[in-house]
Amino acid sequence: MKVAVVGTGYVGLVTGVVLAQLGNDVICVDKDQAKVKMLREGTPPIYEPGVEEMLKRGLADGFLTISDSVKDATEKSDLVFIAVGTPQSEDGSPDLTAVRAVADEIAQGIKRYTVVVNKSTVPVGSGNMVEDIIRSKGVPSHLFDVVSNPEFLREGSAIRDTLEPDRIVIGAKRRDAALKLVELYASLERPMIITDLNSAEMIKYAGNSFLAMKISFINAISRICEECGADVADVSKGIGLDGRIGPQFLQAGLGWGGSCFPKDVQGLVKISERYGYDFQLLQEVININEDQTLHFMRRLDSRLGGLKGKTVALMGLSFKPNTDDIRDAKSLQIIEHVLGAGGAIKAYDPIAMPHVEKLYPKLDYVKSVYDVSEDADAIVVVTEWNEFRQLDLQRLGACMKQRVMFDGRRMYKPDAAKKAGFEYFTIGV
């Protein structure tokens, strides 16, 4: 099939390279000329395992081309995916400025029947909005349909999630439009749910909000465990083996962040307000998450007797491993807290340091994880990168002012850390 994908971020670029890999003729579109140049040279503007290899293969095979024109790409395509950002507005609702702009440009390129696919995370009613924009530009209804096809990608495993999704959700008003997506995804042989536009849009928000709720729940339980002498890891395992609950997203830590959960949970709160429902449960999910890192830092502050004049070493900066994404990363919250209290930061991350350096150019960024601990008063484990798992903890602590470790991801066994001379603190124990 002939496919255009507008937007080359995590969702758009992954969608484009995978569809090209499946044998479709794909045009990836971006208005940013610097990104277009990089992509044409085979260099992705994001870090995601497997994307660069697929990008280069698609370009070499001729199944993938890069364009800066939405109109031209639409004219050549049967399906046009909208995969642009929908960041939070000041009031917490999704900002649909980019979606509206792309819909306007798509309308200029529709010359034959075209299926317009909303891949961006958008609130209920956005499919109708896109349809209204295109129709307002004089495009007759019989020449296009708008379909909702929400993504469920996890950064760090986005390629696999695209090729092996748990389910494919297709929301459409007309059966023929839905069948176009069924045909596109048929080779994946995965379960498909065909529903209406509003239900498809709600599935995305409801799914992410439920997962965020599980994380906030286990983090709330971790706070009780710290006070009563229980171990949240054992509690999590004990309840996760219940088939009605499941073990996924029950790992206590510093809380959820990234580009999806914060935006989608707050977005669903705003959607609820619009329809007259006070979603108090989700608001408390947000409150628990916001306090989790602050609680951890209060414990660090207490152990060090204040942070003024102290150096805190951060192991990891991205919001999760295998990505360079720092959107809503807990590292940023920790940096603000330490600097605000008069402390200093040393930092190491295998991928994400350049992005944090743009925000905090004066921090002490080091070249290896062993360098980060030198002259530090405490280490805080922020991101559970695999390269951190088998460290020589004796070597890590050898150059510290005092061997204090706050493990925000429960990466290390307490006995191993203590054997290496660390005073060890973690979540939920």
The question of whether 260 is a catalytic residue gets the answer yes
Residue 130: C-alpha distances to residues 125, 144, 323, 411 (Å):
9, 11, 31, 45
Contact 1, 24 (CB under 8 A): yes
**How far is 210 from 233, CA to CA, in rounded Å?**
20
β-strands 144-148, 64-67 pairing: unpaired
**How far is 232 from 91, CA to CA, in rounded Å?**
35
308: Cβ contacts below 8 Å, ≥ 6 apart:
341, 342, 343
Residue closest to 70 by CA, chosen among 94, 39, 100: 100
- Residue among 28, 225, 228, 260 flagged as catalytic: 260
Contact 73, 67 (CB under 8 A): yes
User: Which residues, in sequence order, are bridge partners of residue 5?
Assistant: 28, 81
Burial of 104 (0-12, 13-18, 19+ CB in 10 A): middle
**How far is 171 from 55, CA to CA, in rounded Å?**
29
**How far is 13 from 308, CA to CA, in rounded Å?**
44
User: Which residues, in sequence order, are bridge partners of residue 118?
Assistant: 82, 148
Both tokens of 73, joined, read 């790409």
Report helix, strand or coil for 66.
strand
Both tokens of 179, joined, read 């069948």
Residue 387 carries which side chain, given as an amino acid letter?
E
Report helix, strand or coil for 120.
coil
Residue 50: C-alpha distances to residues 53, 141, 320 (Å):
6, 39, 17
The phi, psi pair for 65, rounded to 5°, reads -130, 160
Catalytic residues: 260
